[in-house]
Structure 1
């Protein structure tokens, strides 16, 4: 070999390491690419249970995070990465551990920050940064993979759907479910518009999850509006103890979508007619039997009636001989009401959705609408024969529950009723209970959060008048309310204050701050909100004791706004201050305020109320 050739060979050999380094820099100019491909396979399960590294530029920390479920054993969970030969993990004492692809992050401590370097085959660091792993305790975990491998399509619209798979672990690592999901879709109304979104999943076949009854459809509730995350847990349990039928069972779980930690979710039963849930006659199934085509394929039509009444129904070919039940009805307001195929309005404008059968025939909608019109008429007239068409006890239980917890949406939205076939039970029942994140002082206006008032479920816009009429005009109903409070709600509340609230708080805190970190909730804020709930409950119990156990007299102020806005009835113990005023209607003139309609006297939060009167806006 000539000297020139030898020199060229030596030069090439010397340049190879440099070229390799340049190649890596060109391929992976940004360290982010390495970290995005860093993941841990939970316990080497090999079923899609993978946790990807996460970075949040909104946090002060410059570290990447691994959010591990309770069941993960970090010493048995292989780490995976690409673009490097091995990892170097360095602790605060400068001790370095080398980890090959498929190796284990042994010796790492939870919540501690480590330096991490991605090192290539010739010993050069191609990317570096910081890494922290967090881990929950005593919490189940769900790993959901969508067909597309991301959430973009699902998050574009609540109507969009995808298929997928789910691996569900109990807190100790046992596989509770491993199989396909026939459908994943968005869920919720206000909550759907938030950053942490709720979802609905449909299993391939009816299966019990985490000890709950067998069914196909399940909700994953985000609870982002509830800092404490315990409100739905408390109220669902309270409703169950109060005897409200088919109150949803729920379990908290860490949820991962396509390997990315999504937060602590409430895995919840769905409000639906089903043997494991609301076990009444399935009229929707009966409709399928008597019609040649799927009821969902038929056109729908809308017909106006007297007053504000209207009905909307599917143009089915046939109706079952027994169309008296079962029905699942939801009271809702205009934008949520109008999107449903089967629905009706009463003469006063109360809006109800026929949730099941979702595509009801004309005969069916007319039948159930007529019953609800009778209920409205009899409640408004104080007619004691209303007990011949509604189960007064369930209505009293529902009312006292929602009045006590100060549910902002009570009676107006997510408010359910049901009726079975006459051959089983001819009465309309109130329930199941549902959707309680805006309770216990977590509402959006002061009248909802006021502790020492009674508002008859008239807090929300387009509010119902049903429970006001029942309470003010039906002696039997009022007696049942007091009895329900004394024998059901109050004993539960005492236990809640003594110990049960702490039990619920422990369920949430078991995630060790992962959800709070992921969604920017300070752990101190979570604890403060839980304490706030307990304080609210204590004050609320003192007030309800006075009105329902000691028969303190109340005076009621009716605030008359613009008809479609909030027009609440607010009751206080005679001689006490109002403490809160309703928000002014959206079209109120500048400088407008509330006044007594009869005297013109201005009404403020400090106005002492001694008698019933009507309030209106100043002109």
Structure 2
């Protein structure tokens, strides 16, 4: 019996031990399940919130010049928009784990310098936990690098710029730091930010007005109190057109021009995009200001004046005593019964208007753009005449207009003299004015363009392309470079080539006319050469800048002249083509 009791006790002991082991095993299994769930939750936490809130990039530990990661939901990736000033000493900062590894064996700790990889490099990231374990972050990081542009860092309280974006009347305070591409400090201080009405506020990248607490050299080395951030995330060439206009105006010594720079802008480390930072002229006004000041002097003969004959030529081209036949580009007939130019130049500073005319002509600006100083504005030229001065916003130029894009035709057009709708065109009717414009081009602008297009434009092109990619990734998830910048560079080079030759020998060209959505445009083709012109939609002609515009329902597929004959790009140009007018052939755009 005792043996049985002992056996029973042993059985109970074994059963108890088994129960304990079972409980322990269950607990371990349960713990493992909980831990796996925690790891899964931790991974999701890292991927969605942790990366954006904790990882940042800077050249030092300063909080005022730091860049955060951006989550691109469309491509399921994180993106790091690295500005120019950080690329010589790019460092990574974080606090919630011990280290990070980007696709290789190197572990980087907070504050360590990291490599500058090729732009568009996609790096897998692994976190090193404090206990030495590793945790993949569950997403790739795409590194994108700006090229050669200044950087404006705005620091607001609680990301206050979001409130400004919703309320055009709102204004918020911010501290700012402006750094050059070489990482040097340009200026810092405080400013007020509000939406600007200089561009549409409906698009994701917003336009802003910056009012500094005290004037500072925010860009270009000139003290400024108020300036504007002009966006164009859809088409990077828009920024380039504006920048080139400001540069050329400065070199032509047009008065009232402040520097304009391409800048990448961040708020509290979040990327806002590539902007043109510019100052608006104090007495800003469009060319119509001249008409307002001078009454009907300039408008006479402009509105309702039909100076074309039945061949589509201007009176100037048929007149034996016109400046055009004397080798002056685009000059019209005297028309002194309509405009008393002797009296006009007693009121206007002729040299300033010649320089503004030449700038608008070279860039084929959609509307004549300049400001007027003098009279009631309290500013005058040296001899107390009204002067043409500072310009503003040339985004619609170089063949890009509000009514359609015509880069091919406008490369070889006389933009002002052949367009009665342009106010400055009235001045082209003065032979002495146009003779001065011709000499100004040949003696000043053309030599300057040789240097500018060779040395400066390639740098600007690189800056615009590299930073334009950042803006497009950020706002439209673009995966391809914006080719409009390269097309813009080509337009400028071709435009100069044409004007160099035409200004020297206008009689070597015949004029063709194209009826476009932007009005009748002239095109000057050189005799004896192949026409080599095919301005159709597939080549970028006749399209809108914003291709999603619902008003665009047709595209240009060809052109026909008055006799119904199609434009032939291989036709050799002869005198008999003078005055030929082409109308577009269009087809509906596929709704898809």
Q: Which residue of 213, 224, 245 corresponds with 1:215?
A: 224
**Secondary structure at the counterpart of residue 426 of structure 2:** helix
CA distance in 2, matches of 1:73, 1:537: 31
1:469 aligns with 2:426: yes
What is the 5 A alignment of 1:23-422?
23=38, 25=40, 29=44, 31-40=47-56, 42-59=58-75, 63-72=77-86, 77=91, 79-82=93-96, 85-92=97-104, 95=105, 97=107, 99=109, 103-106=110-113, 108-111=115-118, 113-118=122-127, 123=133, 125=135, 127-136=137-146, 138-149=148-159, 151-156=161-166, 160-186=170-196, 188-189=198-199, 192-224=201-233, 226-228=235-237, 229-268=239-278, 270-273=279-282, 327-331=283-287, 369-377=292-300, 381-384=338-341, 385-407=343-365, 409-411=366-368, 415-420=370-375
- d(CA) in 1 for partners of 2:388, 2:215: 26
Any idea what SS the aligned residue of 1:470 has? Answer: helix
1:366-425 CA-to-partner distances (Å, cap 9, x unmatched) read: xx8342544434878132121122222222222222222223x232xx543333557844
Runs (5+) with no aligned partner, structure 1: 274-326, 332-350, 354-367
Residues 258-282 of structure 1: CA deviation (Å, up to 9, x unaligned): 21123333322x1222xxxxxxxxx
Q: Counterpart of 1:610?
A: 578
**Per-residue deviation at 1:588?**
13
Shift of 1:521: 9.2
CA contact (8 A) 2:380 2:386 kept: no
Deviation at 1:470, TM superposition (A): 1.8
Sort the Cα spacing of 1:379 and 1:406 in 2 relative to 1 into closer, same or farther, 3 A: closer
Change (3 A) 1:25 1:400: same
Q: 1:430-469 residue pairs with structure 2 within 5 A?
A: 430-443=388-401, 445=404, 447=406, 449-450=408-409, 451-456=411-416, 464-469=421-426
Structure 1 contact 169–177 (Cα < 8 Å) conserved: yes
Larger of the two Rg values belongs to structure:
2
Shift of 1:38: 3.3
* Distance change in 2, residues 1:458/1:121 (3 Å): farther
Q: 2: CA distance between counterparts of 1:594 and 1:75? A: 55
SS in 2 for 1:329: coil
Secondary structure of the corresponding residue to residue 236 of structure 2 = coil
Name the CA distance, whole Å, in 2 between partners of 1:244 and 1:202: 25
What corresponds to 1:532 in structure 2? 487
Q: How far 1:187 sits from its partner (Å)?
A: 5.0
> 1:482 aligned to 438, 446, 453, which one?
438
In the alignment, structure 1 residue 504 sits paired with structure 2 residue 504 = no
Structure 1 residues 150, 105: CA separation in 2 closer, same or farther (over 3 Å shift)? farther
Deviation at 1:249, TM superposition (A): 0.7
1:570 aligns to 2:538 (yes or no) = no
What is the CA RMSD across the aligned residues, in angstroms? 4.7
1:491 to 1:38, Cα distance in 2 relative to 1, 3 A:
same
1: CA distance, partners of 2:69 / 2:552: 49
Q: TM (normalized to structure 1)?
A: 0.66
Query: In structure 2, do the counterparts of structure 1 residues 492 and 484 end up closer, same or farther at CA, with 3 Å as the change threshold?
Result: same
How many angstroms apart in 2 are the aligned matches of 1:171 and 1:255?
Answer: 13
Structure 1's 404 and 109: CA in aligned 2 closer, same or farther, altered over 3 A? closer
Report the Cα offset of residue 43 of structure 1.
Answer: 3.3
* In 2: Cα distance, 1:126 partner to 1:560 partner: 61
Aligned to 1:305: none
Is the Cα contact below 8 Å between 2:461 and 2:489 reproduced in 1?
no
Give 1:206 deviation, angstroms: 1.2
TM-superposed CA distance for 1:615, in Å, is 9.4
Say which is worse superposed, 516-525 or 42-51, in terms of deviation. Answer: 516-525
C-alpha distance after superposition, 1:538-586 (max 9, x if no partner): 432343234422242877788899xxx74446364697979769979x9
How many angstroms apart in 1 are the aligned matches of 2:472 and 2:583? 43
Listed as ranges, the gaps of 5+ residues in structure 2 are: 1-15, 304-337, 544-550, 586-592
> Does structure 1 conserve the Cα–Cα contact (< 8 Å) formed by 2:85 and 2:183?
yes
Q: What is the Cα deviation at residue 222 of structure 1?
A: 2.9
**Does the CA contact (< 8 Å) of 1:442 and 1:449 recur in 2?**
no
Checking the alignment, whether the CA contact within 8 Å between 1:202 and 1:218 is kept in structure 2 is: yes
Check 1:6–1:547 CA distance in 2 against 1; reply closer, same or farther (3 A cut).
closer
Residues 1:553 and 1:479: Cα distance change in structure 2 (over 3 Å) = farther
1:365 corresponds to which residue? Answer: none
Q: Residue 445 and residue 387 in structure 1: after superposition, are their counterparts in 2 closer, same or farther (change >3 A)?
A: same
Alignment partners' CA distance in 1, 2:379 and 2:277: 34
8 Å CA contact retained: 2:154, 2:174: yes
